Amino acid sequence: MTSALPFDDFRDLMQALPPIDSAAAARVRELFAKTASPPGSLGRVEDVAVWLAKASGKAPPMIHRPLVAIFAGNHGVAVHGVSPLPVEATAKSVELCAAGGAAINPVCLAHDLGLKVFDLALHLPTSDITSEAALDERGCAATMAFGMEALAGGTDLLCLGDIGVGNSTVAAAMLCMLYGGAAADWVGPGSGADDAMLARKIAAVDAAVALHGAYRKDPFEVLRRVGGREFAAIAGAIIAARAQNVPVIVDGYAAIAALCVLHAVNPAITAHCLLAVRLTDPGLARASEHLGLEPLLDLRLSHGEGVGAGLAAGVVRAAALVSSGIAAAVGRPA
């Protein structure tokens, strides 16, 4: 990256997104139309296969190297008592994933998914967004560039999740900055906030929006001022995936809020993205409506640290195999 201002390269990338492959999507629709099944009988299985084709450019689509990438960050706003968990719980969750004891580990095993967990300077929480910007522009851009490296080594399906004490408050602040409304419209219980803690979360979001509100028209400024490292890294990963024709499954506070930032820059970014699950958080539900994405699964998950993305990946892999099987069947002579 060579420009004078750190965000300039990302602004350029977002205005030059490669188009999705509508021709590949049409070919997959034609495959399903050639089967003996009633039209539309496979419902969203067919839709997912078509989405995979347009995002990857492959018809029928194939998945050989799926990856669950979980980004972990800590937040200065946690000092205001916005989470029932201590900041140290983020590192413990990362360690649990590394040891194979987190919920995402057997999900990845069940669906043959790779797993990487990225520790984003957990020893150094971002600045408290109620009193200053979470990150400076250079640090935010560098973290986005780091997130782009999640695809290094090759993957053909990227499943995004996050870990971070306080990141539901950060996500609410970002969504309030992007879409307006009251803080209470975007704040949810997160990891289990009671009424007093919800009030503290709302107060923190109100304070953050009051301090940084003048920058709400610039989505990248929203990302760096009231976001966090996992949010920035995920934004970078989504951009890199689009450039490499890699479909993306988003799940969780940071992934959805990061996608909202990118969508505010260029709405075309969502074409290669799939929302994993319908989350119970009211703010994330509203955000999914702004994105125009329909969740694939409804499992009453509140926040599963990538579990929703992993479970959705199982359905996506099955859809790819169904379309490949149909292609093989309709290609054989009667």
Rg from Cα positions in the chain: 20
Give the other-Cβ count within 10 Å of 294's Cβ.
Answer: 12
Amino acid at 197: M
281, 253 contact by CB (below 8 A): yes
Annotated catalytic residue within 46, 221, 230, 305: 305
Q: Give the DSSP letter string of 241-308.
A: HHHTT--EEE-SHHHHHHHHHHHHH-GGGGGGEEE-B--S-HHHHHHHHHHT---SB----S--TTHH
Active site residue 305: yes
Q: Using CB atoms within 10 Å of the CB of residue 40, give its burial: 0 to 12 exposed, 13 to 18 middle, 19+ buried.
A: exposed
Give the other-Cβ count within 10 Å of 289's Cβ.
Answer: 11
Distance CA 261, CA 53 (A): 25
Nearest to 143 by CA among 161, 155, 160, 126: 126
Q: Which residues are catalytic?
A: 305
